[in-house]
């Protein structure tokens, strides 16, 4: 099956192109059995309250029971959120997702006493516990991390209250998702062939890549004018979400929500600030790239709807899914046999939900639980960009696979800070493979353009998002209001700064913040840019140094959260506490811009 212009109902898609959620639960009845089991486990966990740290035996049993409870609850919740994402219009899936989320919130509330109790432990007593109960050493890193954040943990009662209001706190993001993904309807426009096509989240970027400027302009204006009509609702939802984060930061004795978010992974604020500073210092290269784009497209004015279309003429990479899969496989061979065995398993064992269907969640992601397959959601169209998305999400899922196979549950996930490294390294290897095997000058230019676009969207654009997050959070933290007009004004200013004098920053782009779900992820996006920089460094090491670097890289993928993310990356060969990785990525971007300038 090839992707089609019309969006199908889910039942009309072939089974082999849909992910295998049945491997988690055959049906809702089976899910309900585990749900009832988890409810009982959560109820019984109360027996540990007040006794968790009274002996080494009690501490170990409490931590073991907590892991078992979270392991089951995360499996239940993962299933429901992926089931809902298959068709966000489905009322039964919405209800099941609510039930799964409510259970997870209940588990957080039932276990909320544990951290405050651990914080009452005397360090000498804790060392004695490790001697008495050697099995307890499994949790040493977990306990050390709790003690590190001692000044930010509240009393058992206060932690319980915070956990109980967790479901309320998730409301703004849920409202955003329902409005943006389920309720919002976009207009129909004419495509390149003059046929009617309804704009969707999944086909918007392919439309923006169109060679026909009228198609791009019409899609751009239609989508953003739709968001403009709901700007006050989107502003209220975003404001509510950020206020929740600020409240949680304040009550936990942090100076800002940014400090609170980064401290989760022991990341200093300087890493965030260094990123913004490094990108600001290299904006001249972006401005030069925009000048090349304007010249190549032969337009009097370069508009925001001109930024995604390839600037190389007479090259049209139309890559059906099966061909894209083969490209990805060939590109990842330098990562070795152990890695490639998992790649083969991923593509052949229904990890992936391939095509868009009506009501399906937009975008792409890797998900799943400790005990499930590391599933991948795609909305595949036959574009080069979608091939890179496939490589990207496969990188996430293989990272999850190796982590879960090599770490116990307590360390069986990797931190957000390193989450984008494995995915982006895959993209870098794919680009390297394609550049080495291309012979046509125009195709090489096309690939260079794509690589530069990857930098633009992943380093420059995500850093712009990160700076926007910083600005609007600080605005709220000063006691100011987050109105739609303020958000639009600040967002447009940043676009003008990041894209420079060669670009007409159209008024419509000011509302783009309303369609970015990552602004609800509490300082997530900066890690795309830092992760990209680390990934470029690691992929180059794999290509240049071979087996030694491959082994280090695989060890990184297997490390999970067994150490702090900055330390895990250092062992792999990248030090993100310095500006060097970002500056090196900027140098590569500048080099690619210069090559394109000479060839075009």
CA pair distance 383, 441, nearest whole angstrom: 20
Q: Can you give the pLDDT at residue 354?
A: 97
pLDDT above 50 for 4: no
The encoded tokens of residue 412 equal 């069986």
With tokens 């549950």, the residue in question is: 409
**Per-residue confidence at 5, pLDDT binned at 50, 70, 90?**
low
8 Å CB contact between 216 and 205: no
d(CA 356, CA 339): 28
Nearest to 333 by CA among 242, 409, 430, 444: 430
pLDDT tens by residue, 415-437? 888 988 999 999 999 999 999 99
Cβ atoms < 10 Å from Cβ of 418: 28
- The single residue listed with the structure tokens 């059906």 is 320
Active site residue 393: yes
Is the pLDDT confidence value at 3 over 60?
Answer: no
DSSP 285-349: HHHHHHHHHHHHHT-SSEEGGGSSS-SSTT---B--HHHHHHHHHHHTGGG-HHHHHHHHHHHHT
Q: What are phi and psi of 374, to 5 degrees?
A: -80, 85
Measured distance CA(255)–CA(260) in Å, rounded: 8
Q: Is residue 65 within 8 Å of 130, Cβ to Cβ?
A: no
pLDDT level of residue 322 (50, 70, 90 thresholds): very high
Give the number of C-alpha atoms closer than 13 A to the C-alpha of residue 594, restricted to the C-beta side.
Answer: 7
Long-range contacts of 224-227 (CB under 8 A, 24+ apart): 224/508, 224/509, 224/511, 224/512, 225/508, 226/184, 226/185, 226/186, 226/187, 227/184, 227/511, 227/512, 227/514, 227/515
Q: Dump pLDDT digits (tens) for 377-420.
A: 999 999 888 999 999 999 999 999 999 999 999 999 998 889 88
Calpha distance 239→481 (Å, rounded):
8
CA distance 477 to 468: 14
Q: Which helix (H) or strand (E) holds 59?
A: helix 56-86
3-state secondary structure of 579: coil
Q: Long-range contacts for 122-130 (Cβ within 8 Å, ≥24 apart)? A: 123/147, 128/56, 129/55, 129/56, 129/59, 130/56
Q: Minimal CA–CA distance to 419: which of 396, 398, 437, 441? A: 396
- pLDDT for 501: 97
Contact 377, 329 (CB under 8 A): no
Q: How far is CA 398 from CA 187, 344, 388, 420, 425, in A?
A: 38, 11, 15, 12, 12
Length of the chain: 600
Cβ count within 10 A of residue 440: 11
Alpha-helical (H) ranges within 459-506 are 461-477, 484-499
- pLDDT digit string, tens, across residues 45-77: 999 999 999 999 999 999 999 999 999 999 999
Owner of token pair 């890797």: 366
Q: With 50 as the cut, is the pLDDT of residue 298 above it?
A: yes
Residue with tokens 């792409």: 364
Percent of the chain topping pLDDT 70: 99
Using the structure block, give the residue that is written with the tokens 């209250």.
Answer: 161
Q: Given the DSSP bridges, would you call strands 352-353 and 196-198 parallel, antiparallel or unpaired?
A: unpaired
Q: Which two tokens stand for residue 62?
A: 């409490």
User: Containing H/E element for 376?
Assistant: strand 376-377
Q: What are phi and psi of 27, to 5 degrees?
A: -160, 175
Range 10-169: architecture per CATH: Up-down Bundle (1.20)
**With left for phi above 0 and alpha for psi between -120 and 50, is residue 157 left, alpha or beta?**
alpha
Nearest-angstrom CA–CA distance, 419 and 397 = 10
Is residue 188's pLDDT more than 90?
yes
Q: How far is CA 40 from CA 33, 70, 164, in A?
A: 11, 13, 18
C-alpha 197: how far from chain center = 29
3-class secondary structure, 112: coil
Mean pLDDT of all residues in 333-346: 98
Record the pTM.
0.78
Mean pLDDT of the chain: 94
User: How many whole angstroms separate alpha carbon 477 and alpha carbon 248?
Assistant: 12
Of residues 393, 427, 469, 490, which has the active-site annotation? 393
């Amino acid at each position: 099956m090839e992707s089609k212009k019309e969006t199908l109902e889910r039942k009309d898609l072939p089974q082999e192109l849909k992910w295998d959620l049945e491997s988690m639960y055959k049906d809702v009845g089976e899910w309900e059995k585990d749900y009832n089991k988890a409810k009982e486990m959560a109820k019984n966990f109360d027996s540990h309250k007040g006794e968790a740290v009274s002996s080494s035996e009690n501490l170990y049993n409490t931590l073991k029971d907590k892991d078992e409870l979270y392991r089951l609850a995360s499996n239940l919740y993962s299933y429901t959120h992926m089931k809902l994402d298959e068709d966000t219009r489905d009322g039964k899936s919405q209800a099941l997702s609510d039930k799964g989320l409510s259970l997870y919130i209940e588990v957080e509330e039932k276990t909320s006493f544990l951290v405050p109790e651990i914080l009452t432990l005397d360090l000498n007593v804790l060392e004695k516990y490790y001697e008495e109960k050697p099995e307890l050493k499994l949790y040493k890193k977990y306990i050390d991390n709790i003690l590190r954040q001692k000044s930010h943990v509240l009393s058992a009662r206060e932690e319980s209250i915070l956990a109980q209001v967790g479901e309320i706190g998730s409301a703004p993001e849920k409202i955003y998702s329902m409005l943006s993904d389920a309720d919002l309807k976009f207009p129909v426009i004419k495509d390149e062939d003059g046929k009617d096509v309804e704009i969707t989240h999944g086909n918007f970027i392919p439309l923006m890549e169109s060679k026909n400027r009228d198609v791009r302009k019409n899609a751009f204006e239609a989508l953003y004018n739709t968001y403009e009509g709901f700007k006050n609702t989107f502003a209220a939802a975003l404001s509510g979400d950020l206020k929740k984060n600020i409240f949680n930061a304040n009550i936990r004795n942090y100076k800002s929500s940014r400090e609170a978010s980064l401290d989760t992974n022991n990341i200093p604020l300087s890493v965030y600030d260094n990123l913004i500073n490094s990108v600001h210092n290299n904006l001249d290269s972006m401005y030069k790239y925009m000048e090349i784009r304007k010249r190549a497209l032969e337009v009097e004015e370069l508009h925001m709807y001109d930024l995604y279309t390839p600037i190389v003429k007479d090259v049209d990479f139309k890559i059906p899914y099966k061909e894209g899969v083969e490209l990805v496989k060939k590109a990842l061979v330098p990562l070795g046999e152990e890695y490639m065995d998992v790649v083969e398993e991923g593509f052949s064992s229904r990890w992936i939900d391939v095509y868009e269907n009506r009501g399906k969640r937009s975008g792409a992601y890797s998900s799943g639980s400790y005990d499930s397959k590391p599933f991948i959601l795609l909305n595949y169209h036959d574009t080069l960009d979608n091939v890179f998305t496939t490589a990207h999400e496969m990188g996430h899922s293989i990272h999850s696979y190796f982590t879960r196979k090599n770490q116990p549950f307590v360390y069986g996930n990797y931190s957000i800070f390193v989450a984008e490294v494995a995915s982006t390294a895959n993209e870098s290897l794919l680009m390297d493979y394609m550049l080495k095997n291309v012979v046509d000058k125009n195709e090489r230019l096309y690939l260079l353009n794509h690589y530069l676009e990857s930098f633009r969207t992943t380093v420059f654009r995500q850093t712009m998002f990160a700076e926007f997050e910083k600005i609007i959070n600080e605005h709220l933290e000063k006691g100011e209001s987050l109105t739609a007009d303020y958000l639009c004004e600040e967002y447009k200013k940043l676009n003008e700064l990041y894209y420079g004098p060669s670009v007409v920053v159209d008024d419509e782009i000011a509302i783009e913040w309303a369609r970015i779900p990552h602004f609800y992820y509490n300082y997530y996006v900066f890690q795309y840019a830092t992760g990209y920089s680390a990934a470029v460094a690691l992929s180059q090491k794999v290509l240049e140094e071979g087996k030694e670097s491959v082994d280090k890289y695989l060890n990184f993928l297997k490390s999970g959260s067994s150490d702090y993310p900055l330390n895990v990356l250092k062992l792999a060969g990248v030090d993100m506490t310095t500006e060097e990785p970002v500056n090196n990525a900027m140098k590569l971007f500048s080099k690619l811009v210069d090559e394109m300038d000479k060839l075009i």
